[in-house]
């Protein structure tokens, strides 16, 4: 939905106030906050700001993007437990904080099914596996890379945006499926990993497709596979893991929108009714395409079911890998 009037006001550090034309915020205040657990400028933050710009004009006069980084996004989720459930504050979070962290931390500090109220899916995205100058030009497929890794064990490593992230686990599972020992190198984001890939410090990177695409122009990055059920619209020439024989390696990630616990059905419905047209905006889709993100909405029940399915899937995977974030 195209806004008729918009003004950007700079607020406290880490927050941006986006003024939206429309009547006052019903039953709460004129300002709604969207909490995101990552610093300004990152993928989650950028998605949050793009969405805030396009929330239905009748939802609130202004929307504040409130960055609460730390502990890999856990702090933002934990903060929701003590916030008002009147619709004046919401959370945008990746699935990983809700569906994977409970399996990797002994005490994550929240229950994603009782300490949050689901409202809607907001975004989906996938991951890619790419190689750089440290790997011979003759390596063109995932199987080629695994064969090279077996004969070059000292060089067979891969970077990921964080330990315990989906890209980390995908790289481990790929090595297991192909009978190769791939050494994981953890970074703070896909960007730094890709810089070391281009510099030849690591052989491969498992990371977000959008970040990988941003480095493809260098000519030093070769994308070998993507993790979705079908080929990515952002890399249609690249086959999926499944197409290359790795049938179990089908993974995606998503961002969901949640209210604090105890939000009443009418509060959930009012926010949901504002989110659906905002997420359907062509301008929003265009604004996040460079990051490899696709907007998507859902009902609250669909979001809850999706989280339950992902939580059940990731438990056995994490146990099989033996990863713990507490070590």
Q: Cα(196)–Cα(188) distance, rounded to whole angstroms?
A: 12
For residues 309 and 171, give the distance between their C-alpha atoms in angstroms, rounded to a whole number.
Answer: 22
Residues 158 and 231 in one domain: yes
Estimate the crossing angle of helix 300-321 against helix 166-178, to 10 degrees: 50
Looking at the 3D structure of the chain, how many domains does it have?
2
Distances, alpha carbon 120 to alpha carbons 170, 200, 261, 300, in Å:
26, 41, 15, 5
Any domain includes 327: no
In a structure prediction context, what are the per-residue pLDDT tens digits for the chain, which is 327 residues long?
333 323 322 333 344 444 333 333 444 458 899 999 999 988 999 999 999 998 866 788 899 899 999 999 999 999 999 999 999 999 999 999 999 999 999 999 999 999 999 999 999 999 999 999 999 999 999 999 999 999 999 999 999 999 999 999 999 999 999 999 999 999 999 999 999 999 999 999 999 999 999 998 888 999 999 999 999 999 999 999 999 999 999 999 999 999 999 999 999 999 999 999 999 999 999 999 999 999 999 999 999 999 999 999 999 999 999 999 976
Under a CB-based contact definition with an 8 Å cutoff, are residues 307 and 158 in contact?
no
Instruction: Quote the tokens at residue 132.
Output: 């750089």
Q: Does residue 51 sit within a domain? A: yes
Facing residues of 10 across strands? 16
231 CB-near residues (< 8 Å, 6+ apart)? 238, 239, 240, 243
CATH assignment at residue 208 = 3.40.190.10
> Does a structural domain hold residue 1?
no
Looking at the structure, tell me whether residues 108 and 145 fall in a common domain: no
Domain of 301?
6-124+253-321
- Residue 50 tokens, joined: 């793009």
């Amino acid at each position: 939905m195209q806004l008729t009037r918009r003004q950007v006001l700079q607020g406290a550090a880490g927050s941006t106030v986006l003024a939206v034309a429309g009547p006052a915020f019903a039953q709460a205040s004129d300002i709604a906050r969207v909490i995101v657990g990552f610093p300004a400028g990152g993928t989650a933050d950028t998605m949050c700001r793009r969405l805030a710009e396009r929330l239905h004009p009748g939802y609130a006069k202004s929307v504040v993007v409130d960055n609460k980084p730390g502990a890999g996004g856990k702090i933002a989720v934990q903060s929701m437990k003590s916030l008002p459930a009147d619709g004046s504050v919401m959370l945008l979070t990746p699935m990983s904080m809700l569906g994977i962290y409970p399996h990797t931390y002994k005490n994550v500090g929240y229950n994603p099914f009782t300490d949050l109220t689901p409202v809607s899916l907001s975004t989906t995205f996938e991951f890619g596996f790419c190689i750089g100058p440290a790997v011979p030009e003759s390596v063109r497929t995932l199987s080629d890379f695994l064969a090279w890794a077996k004969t070059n064990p000292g060089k067979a490593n891969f970077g990921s945006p964080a330990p315990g992230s989906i890209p980390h686990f995908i790289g481990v599972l790929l090595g297991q499926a192909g009978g190769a020992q791939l050494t994981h190198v953890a970074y703070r984001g896909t960007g730094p990993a890709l810089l070391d890939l281009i510099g030849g410090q690591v052989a491969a990177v498992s990371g977000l497709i959008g970040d990988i695409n941003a480095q493809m122009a260098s000519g030093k990055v070769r994308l070998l596979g993507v993790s979705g059920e079908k080929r990515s619209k952002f890399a249609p020439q690249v086959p999926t893991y499944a197409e290359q024989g790795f049938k179990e390696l089908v993974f995606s990630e998503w961002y969901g929108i949640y209210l604090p616990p105890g939000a009443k059905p009418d509060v959930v419905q009012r926010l949901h009714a504002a989110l659906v047209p905002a997420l359907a905006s062509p301008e929003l889709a265009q604004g996040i395409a460079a990051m490899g993100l696709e907007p998507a909405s859902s009902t609250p029940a669909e979001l809850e079911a999706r989280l339950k399915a992902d939580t059940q899937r990731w438990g056995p995977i994490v146990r099989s890998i033996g990863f713990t974030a507490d070590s």
